[in-house]
Amino acid sequence: GYSYFCYNLASGHHLNSPGNPYVEWLNQKGVDWHDIFTSDEKHDYHWYRSDAPAELRQTAWLAEKAVSFIRERSACEQPWLLSVNCYDPHPPYDAPADLVEKYLARNLPDPIYSDADLALNNNLKDFFFQSTAHPTDDTMRRNKASYYGMIELIDRHYGRIIDALDAMGLRENTIVIFNSDHGEMLGDHGLTHKGCRFYEGITHVPLIISLPGTFRQNAVYGGLVEQTDLAPTIADLCGIPPADTHGRSLVPVLTGQNAPAPRKFVRAEFYDTLEVDMNYDGLRVPGEIQAAGKPAESCYATMYYDGRFKLSVYHGIQFGELYDMENDPQEQHNLWYDKDHQDVKQALILDSFGVSTKYSRPGQTRRGRY
């Protein structure tokens, strides 16, 4: 559906592929990608050398391409939509050395962790995750510092896009939405990367929406919001009817007029989302699983959060998670078996099941009584 499409999966992937647009951009700047990337023999990707300049990294390339797009489309005086999807912040945690040291020097808080996390994740060992749980160590601390460094580069280069809108006088006529597809555990609960879990580090992602002169500025909304709300919000702003969606427009929240009743829940699903044969550290590949007498099975789980309690159900086993986010925001005390919270758990299970049924529509419009 895009009139213009430029794709590069990740900075360190497919660098030898013909027509890689990021590599071509480097070549235009007189840079051989071998001079800024390194690798080992265990992985199928490369990562930046610690001295690779910030202005040559993929996020800088994205910003430059975005600014060029805006200049070209704005000259035509026609409406346009641009989505800029950066790979960072993301493993392999290869921020510039100076930014890594900058955040290490700040003594960032250690990841959320207790020994109970090891026992909990052992109960979920058959459900996909890209790492095995282990106590906090210096590698986790360095990864966290590098992750923060990557975020600083995003701030810097995406700031160039905002500056371009300002310079062209488009800022007050351009809706800017900043969002993420998922978060990163960064050592919380002994985990790194992502997978079939629903902790805050993975599911509670940023959402910033801006339109100066129209939307409230510097306002923080305390209600619940899903990513399903973005499509109807954009449709509402463009004056077109939204397609069939579970989301709802956030325009009343953004403008401060006729604010809707608070959302009663948000929901997340993990339905066979990642390949079970991805050979991440600590994850057995299918041959090893079969050799151990265990079939490689897909993972299905759902999360339901009502603004206070978060319920995670891992389908196929008699185990899950229940957290009181008001009194336990770091999700360290699983109430799944707590006798004082069984009524809450059962009520949330019924609510989540009801929503699953309601949302799994067959996709056809009923035309008559039957």
Distances from the Cα of 45 to the Cαs of 9, 14, 15, 36, in angstroms? 11, 7, 8, 13
Mean pLDDT of 164-185: 95
Whether the pLDDT of residue 281 is over 50: the answer is no
Return d(Cα 49, Cα 279) in angstroms, integer: 23
Q: What confidence tens digit (pLDDT) does each residue in 192-216 have?
A: 999 899 999 999 999 999 999 999 9
> What element of type H or E holds 201?
helix 200-203
pLDDT confidence of residue 245? 84
Backbone angles phi, psi at 173, to 5 degrees: -125, 15
Architecture per CATH, domain 1-199, reads as 3-Layer(aba) Sandwich (3.40)
DSSP summary character for residue 325 = T
Residue 190 · residue 115 · CB < 8 Å: no
272: left (phi over 0), alpha (psi -120 to 50) or beta: left
DSSP summary character for residue 207 = E
pTM (2 decimals)?
A: 0.89
Q: Which of 153-167, 267-281, 330-344 has the lowest mean pLDDT?
A: 267-281
**Long-range contacts for 287-294 (Cβ within 8 Å, ≥24 apart)?**
294/126
Question: Which distant-in-sequence residues (6+ apart) come within 8 Å of 24 by Cβ?
Answer: none
Whether the pLDDT of residue 92 is over 80: the answer is yes
Q: Where exactly are the structural domains of the chain?
A: 1-199, 262-359
pLDDT confidence of residue 314? 95
Q: What confidence tens digit (pLDDT) does each residue in 215-231 have?
A: 999 999 989 999 999 99
What's the CA angle centered on 23, arms 20 and 25, to 5 degrees?
110
pLDDT confidence of residue 101? 97
Tokens coding 74: 């704005």
Whether the pLDDT of residue 264 is over 60: the answer is yes
